[in-house]
Structure 1
């Protein structure tokens, strides 16, 4: 498949890591996605996509148009259609807040239909993009939609969360909550309340996800992997805790994950986040 993406121009870049267009025939239909430090918007322009939570008590879902997802704290699975045509947004963890009128907690670990959040937006985007518009045009249309949805005034508390979250991002989750609160000049309870309001998770949970993301990006499946060294560099100082969290987030032990990566290397041209993996 072809992945075309870029960082949007200001002011969107304060809230969005990238907008992208994904087209073509998938090499693998079912994929597993571990927790990553982002929220998502998917605008589906092809066949239905199936989503399945790793929590078996949550019923699966099928989307023919599009969906929003907040930050996930556990892995989930999705099935591509036979041919993919999709435009999407990787929001920063706090980045969805000024675009949607929903509490962040209602989007955490959930997928919500696009038109339930942005009414009639799928038809508008679909009519402008059609079946043949190039990726650059699809991304331009999506950016226009984002600009039209951006709140004139940021939600209360967003600036605090954006700055504290930016420090977590820069440190790959290595900063303690105490260091964040000292830098922000607020109490731990206040910071946690604002994080839950704007992201849906606490600063401590967000730091865990950033730490895990750093470790995953550091894995080079083409070389021998020293898991102890990678774990320590990422901030895991308890090997048993690292192993439990890794297995919980990916569904695989570190050794099984590495074997999977070696059997199914990422497609050329895709962002090297090592996040989504074939559901083996």
Structure 2
């Protein structure tokens, strides 16, 4: 396995968290990707990925694609050798490099050509790079060329995201009162910058923080105890979140992820396509 990560330049802090290069054999043929509180650009340098819909129908994903913030899990068929470079944008980050409306990325996996000009040329360039360092440098240069200097971070949205990072269960109305603005103003700013409502995003963030914080492989407390120390109200609330965002009960999820370790918390390997409920 080769994994190399590069922090985003400091001036990109409101928009990009990291860039990475990954080369590794797939763990299993399929992978269930649970909702993530980020937007991703992936430039695939291997065989194509395929996206599997709820009916089990697969479609080939273009070499470079953008995955917006998802509110449901995705199911993909991975190439035998995973080799790609990627960018992790903050919830409001894509618009700093693209003219696509944030709402047009939310809940979708689409060709990156719809969001970023020159992506085909970048893909060809990346295929020729001899090292991960060189590939990451090319990717960073590509983003520098597309940075929209006239577009700055929405300071209100930045404050909301920081508040959510500390308290994913806080109601937006409470934040609005503290900030001295209306609830509708917060929602309008957040949707314009991130393409999703603050409530929907907070639910994704809360679940992501919960599953990535589970002590997989260690002694796991009872779900009622875990709920009590998290941002969920009670055990039934946890169960509903797992059903909605992973398609598993909490116990089913832990059984599957324990086999593969904490790295599988949001990327659950599968041998076959799950059967859709009748």
* TM, length-normalised to structure 2: 0.89
Shift of 1:39: 0.8
Residue 174 of structure 2: aligned partner: 179
Residue 274 of structure 2: aligned partner: none
Q: Structure 1 residue 277 and structure 2 residue 268: aligned?
A: yes
Q: Structure 1 residue 210 and structure 2 residue 205: aligned?
A: yes
How far apart in 1 are the matches of 2:123 and 2:178? 42
Residue 217 of structure 2: aligned partner: 222
> Matched residue of 2:190: which SS?
helix
Residue 132 of structure 2: aligned partner: 135
Alignment CA distance shift 1:27-1:225 (3 Å) = same
Alignment CA distance shift 1:246-1:30 (3 Å) = same
How far apart in 2 are the matches of 1:118 and 1:71? 17
Q: Which deviations, in whole Å up to 9, do the C-alpha atoms of 1:165-220 show, x marking residues without a partner?
A: 1221233x132212321343321111111212221221111111121112112212
Is the 2:97–2:116 Cα contact (8 Å) retained in structure 1?
no
Shift of 1:60: 4.3
Query: Cα RMSD between the aligned structures?
Result: 2.1
Shift of 1:67: 0.6
How far apart in 1 are the matches of 2:187 and 2:197? 5
Structure 2 gap segments, 5+ residues each: 272-278
Structure 1 gap segments, 5+ residues each: 267-271
Residue 192 of structure 1: aligned partner: 187
Would you say how many aligned residue pairs link Structure 1 and Structure 2? 270
How far apart in 2 are the matches of 1:222 and 1:70? 30
Q: Equivalences for 1:87-166 in 2 at 5 Å?
A: 87-127=85-125, 129-154=126-151, 158-166=154-162
Alignment CA distance shift 1:221-1:36 (3 Å) = same
* TM, length-normalised to structure 1: 0.89
> Matched residue of 1:229: which SS?
helix
Alignment CA distance shift 1:93-1:53 (3 Å) = farther
